[in-house]
Amino acid sequence: MIKENIVQEKSYNFAIEIIQLIKKFPRKNDGFVLGKQLLRSSTSIGANVEEAIGAFSKSDFIYKMSIALKEAREKHYWLRLIRDSNMLNQNAEAYVLKAEELIKILTAIVKRSKNQN
């Protein structure tokens, strides 16, 4: 039986939510540019988490999780920009809060991993 991995599950599900959100972006230049940036950072988080799970050493694990954290922070930036520019007709605040939750989880994993002997 495979043990449930919260960060793996959350990063994957949130990437799917972002893919669905991007489909609602305006069909003009700003929508394409921001959508591309958001999609890239969003899907990269889960990919790096997957790589960290298969890491061959503790330092490799920390490195990959740190990249996932970096991408989560970038995703958070794009979501705030989208929210504050009123690009969407719907409330983007829920997405910003989910990004913050993911950042907190990844930060805790990286810090805990670095502090383990």
Instruction: Show pLDDT as tens, one digit a residue, over the chain (117 residues).
Output: 556 799 999 999 999 999 999 999 988 888 899 999 999 999 999 999 999 999 999 999 999 999 999 999 999 999 999 999 988 877 889 999 999 999 999 999 999 999 985
Would you say 102 and 42 are in contact if contact means Cβ atoms under 8 Å apart?
Answer: no
Written as one letter, the residue type at 18 is I
The two structure tokens encoding residue 81: 């920009």
Cα–Cα distances in Å, from 65 out to 4, 20, 62, 85, 91? 17, 25, 5, 30, 29
pTM (2 d.p.) = 0.91
For residue 1, the 8-state DSSP code is: -
Q: CA-CA distance, 75 to 67, in Å (whole number)?
A: 12
The two structure tokens encoding residue 30: 């700003």
